[in-house]
Amino acid sequence: MAPAPEYLSTPETASFWAKTGDKDSPTRGLPLVQHMLDAGSVAARLWDTWLAPGLQKRFSEHLHLSMEDTRALVCWLAATHDMGKATPEFSGQLDARRDENLAVYRQRIEQQDFEFPEDLVTPTSGLRCPHSKYSQSILIHLLTSNIEGMPSEVAETLASISGAHHGTPAEYLANSADLSNVILERLSPKWHAAWQELYTITLERFGASSALHQLAQHGQTIPVSVQFCITGFVIMSDWIASNPDFFPMGTFGSAEQEQRARIGWQALGLEQRWIAALDTDPGTPAADLYASRFGWSNPTLRPMQEVVVEAARSMQNGGMMCIEAPMGQGKTEAGLIAAEFLAQATGRTGVAFAAPTQATSNALFDRVIEWVEYQTNNVAQEHGGPLEPHSMFLGHSKNRFNKSYEALSKADIFDESSTPGRENNRKTLRPGTSLARHSWLSGTKKGLLSSFVVCTIDQVLMTALQARHVMLRYLGLASKVIIIDEVHAYDAYMSRYLSAALYWLGQMNAPVILMSATLPSATRDDLMESYAKGLKVGTEPNKVTDSVSAPQNNDILARMMANLAKGQAPSAPAVTENSSLDLDYPVIHTLTTEDNGSPKKWKVEQPVDQTEIELKLIDDSPESVLNVLEPLANDHGCAAVICNTVGRAQEMHAFLGERFGEEHVILTHSRFTATHRAEQEELLVSKLGKKAHYSKADGEDSSRPHRLIVVGTQVIEQSLDLDFDVMITDFAPVDLVLQRMGRLHRHDSRSSSERTPAYRMPVCYVRGVETFGSHVGAPDFPRGSKAVYEPMILLSSYAQLLPHFDSEPIRIPADISPLVQKTYQENASAEIPEAWSEVYENAKQEYEKGKEQAKARAKGYLLRAPQGEYTMADCMKSLLQSNDQRFSDEQIGEAKVRDTDASLEVIAIIVERNQPGNPKSAIKSYRLLPSINGTDEADSLRFEASADDPPTYWQSMQLAASSIRLPYQYSDAPNHRIKGGKLRFDAALDQLEKERIENWQKSFMLEGQLILPFEEVEAGVYSYELCDYELVYTTQLGLQSFKLDNED
């Protein structure tokens, strides 16, 4: 029976429900047919205004459909994702819960004469079958029954998208009973008729019949990479359509559908997609391009920056670029220019910039903001259009504590009085706004869907992780150009995930730009090979020629789609032959689909003027450091002392603080709270950044301090753009020593007269060597350094630097490549002095063993390559799941892509107990740790632990920002045990879970967080005994741990 024109469906099918009402109107839910139409309508609007044209083209090519039919199919897949809700188990569950207020939902269905077999409503096994799994089985049945000649394999690949719309392939949903096929045999024709009606309604509404018949005709399954992306798109559509603020509950007729979809979309307030619009005229000078994007006036470009433009112009079909150039040479700007070229060439609508750590991401964030704002304003002026804000996301777990991120305007702020019936209810952003945080495009699962993303590398690595909702992550990155900075910084374990991620991104031809100052050629070759394999898998000719372009918003989009349709071949650069050891540097490599897996090399002219840095080896003693810094006793200057471990840094800070005064010595490392680290970074950049200058006139108008010594760990080498007059560093792998040296006399804008005479020539002093090496004996290094870095790499690095110690200076950039490549080459043993051979070979065996073990550990949860498999479930047979509800999916995922043992993060606070000094006594009140810059703001935040109301939003932010990770001895490494054999990790967790503040459970920001309840034992010193260690915190030294001797 056909429904009346004014209704969406027959009464029988209209009785099925998708959503229940809220607590105020529990029975005012949402019919299933309405939600299905909402989801399809959202998908249509996402396709027309959000989805990258490059992905549209990719879908069309792989499906062998016109663009119009591809759009129809994708919208239909979004509409049918919840078909499985029309089943006894889902529809009847409210009665099973004995909820009197909600029992009406099942009663409405029963009134239409649908039966509810009890064993299908409440499975006797006790294991539920999720509705997504029912959706998959029903759709396979409907497709093979309705579409003549539909191969079961094709139907499975289509239906698997609905099966995975909760972020997990239906085949591997935990604790699910396999009733999805039983219902096809057991249920009456009435149920089958309802499924058929829902199938027909959605098929007609979104016009997907032609697409389905064509898929059946050519009989090819959908590639797994496309399944992942379309599933992410369906999940996105479902989540938007499920938001009652956009699509309110109730029953609506046929005539209201277009208005409902339009108003819901307006309420979401998603911005138009970003369209890159860089001048692609080959005659435009590269300098003009950089000036138009960074506001440079008459810029003089580095040779590398010129070559990047030439190489990017050749990549008309996208691909991968690798930029290798010295520190401080403008790789960031070059990468962003290349990204805009590649976005235009491949129809990508955003950029993701990934860096090794949160600190490096934070430092990049402001630079990327400036680029987006400048180029967006320029494009608006050039084309005379309005300034559309674009969404931006800072992708790491501490993003809410980043001031620049919090300062971004919110693009989706509505009037309090706004209702779904009111149009244009979006508040106007402040004039000139080009970037905004969109609240819907935030959080760990949706943030990568924003137009612009700056994130930690974890966000990219998790694209290759068998984890829930990996489809959303894949969709978000595949829509963009991905820039990966500091590629040299990843170990064998992380590199395995990076290679796999590049393989998957290559399948969707997502452009990737790798950047490094010190990249071993073997690492570069491995990464480019992985991407090339992905390109090969993803390259498939389009069998359909009558392609219809997506709706075009403006001339820029029209040109982008035209370029995509042309598929122009790139102009061929001069290709240089690879030698056995590639020492060219600086250098650019590109890889496109036309290259047949062989990268092209673009040589960069070596600068005539080389920076020469002396390398001097000193004893590993505090007195040796003091001798180097002696000029600071009577003159000005800024020094860096870099240590490989936190313990060494803390000891050195204490020593130098006594000699020069604590006001002249700053300590920075990872064992400060997030708040204190942010304060330190802000302070260091203000004093030692590019804008800081020194004046001799008693410090007048001087932003650079008269005297400052910064003692720190690797954070100095990786993140902040700082300039030091002199540097002392622990010995480390040669690439990291070079990275550290990049902070020495870094800023060309600083004249030599600003530097004290003793430090006008750049000198890097090296310590952290217990036994000096020579041609007749191998060096030895402190235990802490050998725990952080591979001894084999330390030995090989020392062999390469041996000729430079107190002899030939290192020339930057000329010596960078020879030092790095010879250290990391496969036959590095040929460069090792014969007297070291036994020590080196032993270290090499341990290195190779550890490398293979790391790769094996990484393999367990890697997304499997689709070799013969044709559904997503085949690639996720070791699905990562958290058995511990105390940790989020994101925390578990980040732990799996880094080769580290799990550790505990806590919020450090100062407490007062009912009985001071008695750790078993209840907490009476608490407050924040004091600020390191001497402000009293923290002291004003004092809370009563017994208060009913939780801290305010702002107060919760301050408390949550006081987070810190416990030292390594509290990790879950199997050898970290307390007396009695219990893991220290578990014992610490048990102890800290008893230290609860009840009203924190009412705050979404503080709920479930562990606290580290310090008591102030003397002025500025805070202590807490955790298991068999005393933890002590000060604002000068950070967190220290001391083994207790009185363990019972």
DSSP result, 116-159:
--HHHHS-TTS-B--HHHHHHHHHHHHHHHHSTT--HHHHHHHH
Percent with pLDDT over 90 in the chain? 55
* Secondary structure (3-state) at 50: coil
Residue 878 to residue 184: CA distance in whole angstroms: 29
pLDDT digits (tens, 9 = 90+) for 35-53: 999 999 999 999 999 999 9
What structural domains and CATH numbers belong to the chain? 11-256 (1.10.3210.30), 286-413+434-539+552-602 (3.40.50.300), 611-851 (3.40.50.300), 901-1043 (no CATH)
| DSSP states along 771-839 | B--BTTB--B--HHHHHHS-HHHHHHHHHHHGGGBTTSPEEETTTHHHHHHHHHSTTGGGGS-GGGHHH
pLDDT over 90 (residue 567): no
- Nearest 5 degrees, angle CA 193-CA 196-CA 200? 140
Q: What is the model's pLDDT at position 259?
A: 92
Give me the sign of the Cα torsion angle 341, 346, 349, 354.
negative
pLDDT over 60 (residue 549): no
pLDDT over 80 (residue 899): no
Distances in Å between the Cα of 27 and the Cα atoms of 34, 252, 588 are: 16, 15, 63
What predicted TM-score, i.e. pTM, was given to this entire model?
0.89
Residue 624 to residue 626: CA distance in whole angstroms: 5
* Secondary structure (3-state) at 329: coil
Region 183-199 average pLDDT: 92
pLDDT digits (tens, 9 = 90+) for 402-445: 888 888 866 543 333 333 443 444 444 444 567 778 888 888 88
pLDDT digits (tens, 9 = 90+) for 62-75: 999 999 999 999 99
**Worst-scoring range by mean pLDDT, 298-312, 552-566, 929-943, 951-965?**
552-566
CB 707 within 8 A of CB 724: no
Residue 44 to residue 78: CA distance in whole angstroms: 9
Distances in Å between the Cα of 109 and the Cα atoms of 87, 88, 853 are: 11, 10, 57
pLDDT over 90 (residue 449): yes
**Cα dihedral 469/503/353/558 (nearest 10):** -90
Q: CB within 8 A of 416, min separation 6: which ones?
A: none
Q: What is the model's pLDDT at position 416?
A: 35
Q: What is the model's pLDDT at position 67?
A: 97
CB 104 within 8 A of CB 230: no
- The larger pLDDT score, comparing residue 122 to residue 603, is at 603
Q: What is the model's pLDDT at position 874?
A: 83
Q: What is the model's pLDDT at position 9?
A: 85
Size of the chain, expressed as the number of residues it contains:
1048
pLDDT digits (tens, 9 = 90+) for 789-812: 999 999 999 999 999 998 899 999
Largest CA distance in the chain: 96
Q: What is the model's pLDDT at position 796?
A: 96
Q: What is the model's pLDDT at position 100?
A: 73
pLDDT over 80 (residue 785): yes
Structure tokens at 362: 């934070």
**Cα dihedral 370/374/376/379 (nearest 10):** -160
Q: What is the model's pLDDT at position 579?
A: 47
pLDDT over 60 (residue 390): yes
Quickly state the pLDDT bin for 940 (edges 50, 70, 90). low
Region 327-343 average pLDDT: 94
- The larger pLDDT score, comparing residue 20 to residue 337, is at 337
pLDDT over 60 (residue 222): yes
Q: What phi-psi label fits residue 13: left (phi over 0), alpha (psi between -120 and 50 degrees) or beta?
A: alpha
Tell me the pairing of strands 923-927 and 1021-1026: unpaired
**If you average pLDDT over every residue of the chain, what do you get?**
86
| DSSP states along 943-1001 | EETT-SSPPPHHHHHHHHTTEEEPPGGGS--TT-B-TTS-BHHHHHHHHHHTS--GGGG
Residue 731 to residue 735: CA distance in whole angstroms: 11
Region 678-702 average pLDDT: 77
Q: What is the model's pLDDT at position 24?
A: 72
Structure tokens at 601: 């090399």
Taking each continuous run of H as one helix and of E as one strand, the counts in the chain are 38, 27
pLDDT over 50 (residue 885): no
Q: What is the model's pLDDT at position 267?
A: 92
pLDDT over 50 (residue 485): yes
Residue 487 to residue 517: CA distance in whole angstroms: 9
Quickly state the pLDDT bin for 114 (edges 50, 70, 90). very high
